[in-house]
Amino acid sequence: MTMPMVEGGRPIAKFRLFGFPVTIDISFVIIVAILGWYPGVDAEQFVVWFLLVPVAVLVHELGHAFVARTTGAQPTITLAGLGGLTSYLPPHQLSRARSVAISLAGPAVGIVVGVALLAYGRGVGVESDLAASVLNTAIFTTLGWSLLNLLPILPLDGGQTLRELLPGSPAKREVRAAMVSVVVAVLAALAALRFGLVFGALMAGFFVFSNVMTVRNAREMEKVDVNQRAIQLLWHGRAADARELLAERPDDAAVHPLVRSAVRAAAEDPRAGLAELQAAADRDPADPQPSSLLLIVHRVREEWSAARDLLLSPRGRAADPSTVLAVQTAAFQSGAAQESAEIGEAFLQGPRAAAGDLPAQIAYNVACGWAKAGELPRGLQAFRRAADLGFADLTSVDSDDDIAPLRPLPGYDEARQQIRQRALAVVDDQQSP
């Protein structure tokens, strides 16, 4: 399944653990190795460190993921850079208490595991130097790191918890938490230098810089069009926050009436808000804004069949392809593979499905959706359509597990060869002067 946006990085391992997709990026492996190799370390200690750190970070992220899954989300775990990240998009806006529970779940698991290991070491003890090295490293990377993670510094779990506990709107809480984070990080840097912990001081300095930029970006965000901000909040499932944002501007002429309707449809008055958007789409079927806002509302409410029906109707024929792709991807990630395929097919039947990157991606995702749903002939047909529309991401074709059921089918190789030739042509164009 291709995504609307592709993040950087070079994954070296992908697998599932307890149902959660896990990706390990090469940047994580490199940094773990750098941190574990210092003057005087022997090979045995380095190997223990190199093997235990990914396990400890993964255990921490699993704590977040298990609690996040209780919201109905489908979390994914990525180990990259300096640590791990659990990404999830809940089907509805979470309460502050639930957000705090998710933030604290990771450190809580680490503390429980670390305390258990500490008690074992003191109660039973270990005999060999290797066993002692394993135990001490495991305690440090679980208990020690979890306690550090509880510091009230963004983006640490303690900082995210602080942000939810502070008063004010989400934007104000973010700024206030960032300002507290700067103060705490400066104090942490001074303490690290006092004890000769150079790397700790550098990390604290990074947090200072990061949170200063957060405050600066928040001020810049105030200059961003309020309509864009409201739509971004809606897309991320934060309908209540979008409503709160517009409630602060009841008479602001800069707020587009259709954006107010979309927020109303997603939050406070679904029937009236949807009626207003539908009426706008009927008045001007060529205007993409009403249909795209309707799609966003259906995405927030996970009304996948309604999104499909909209695209099949005259109201949805002008929908923006990037919005369609994003809604289709959200449906697939929520587990609605068939509905995801149907959304894409509904768009491909319309007048905006000419050859190009976005329609080709939508067609490829249709193939993934049908393959996931067990409709292999329809999946192969969509895969061929993606090749005809100009799909050129050969990496996804050859590595994507979602498309795997189609590979043995007659006709798959011909379509793949078509995609391969286009991918090679793209490379040639990029390399030519």
pLDDT in the model for residue 341: 95
The Cα–Cα gap between 397 and 104 comes to: 38
Q: How confident is the model at residue 74 (pLDDT cuts 50, 70, 90)?
A: confident
pTM of the predicted protein model: 0.60
User: What is the residue type of 182?
Assistant: V
Q: How many CB atoms lie within 10 A of CB 295?
A: 28
**83-87: strand order across its sheet:** 11-17, 20-25, 76-80, 83-87
Segment holding 60, helix H or strand E: helix 43-69
The answer for residues whose C-beta is within 8 angstroms of residue 71's C-beta and 6 or more apart is 88, 90, 91, 92, 94, 98, 102
Nearest 10 degrees: Cα torsion 24, 26, 30, 35 = -20
Tell me how far apart the alpha carbons of residues 124 and 117 are, in angstroms, rounded to a whole number.
10
Q: Residue 148: name the closest of 197, 102, 194 by CA.
A: 197
pLDDT tops 70 at residue 4: no
**Most confident residue range from 129-138, 248-257, 378-387:** 378-387
- Spell out the domain ranges in the chain: 11-150, 167-223, 226-325, 354-433
Q: What is the pLDDT of residue 223?
A: 64
Most confident of 11-25, 377-391, 419-433: 377-391
Q: ∠ CA(371), CA(394), CA(422), 5° rounding?
A: 120
Kind and range of the H or E element at 321? helix 321-333
DSSP string, 135-204: HHHHHIIIIIHHHHHTSS-TTSHHHHHHHHHSSS-HHHHHHHHHHHHHHHHHHHHHHHHHTT-HHHHHHH
Tokens of 285: 């079927």
pLDDT in tens, 138-182: 999 999 999 999 999 999 999 999 999 998 777 788 889 999 999
pLDDT in tens, 275-304: 999 999 999 888 889 999 999 999 888 899
For the record, the structure tokens of 360 come out as 């080709």
* Residue of higher predicted confidence among 246 and 410: 410
pLDDT above 90 for 111: yes
Is the model's pLDDT at 267 over the cut of 80?
Answer: no
Checking if the pLDDT of 51 tops 70, the result is yes
Q: Indicate whether 317 pLDDT > 90.
A: no
CA dihedral 334, 339, 342, 348 (to 10 degrees): -20
20-34, 98-112, 118-132, 139-153, range with the lowest pLDDT? 118-132
Q: Which residue has the tokens 């030739």?
A: 421
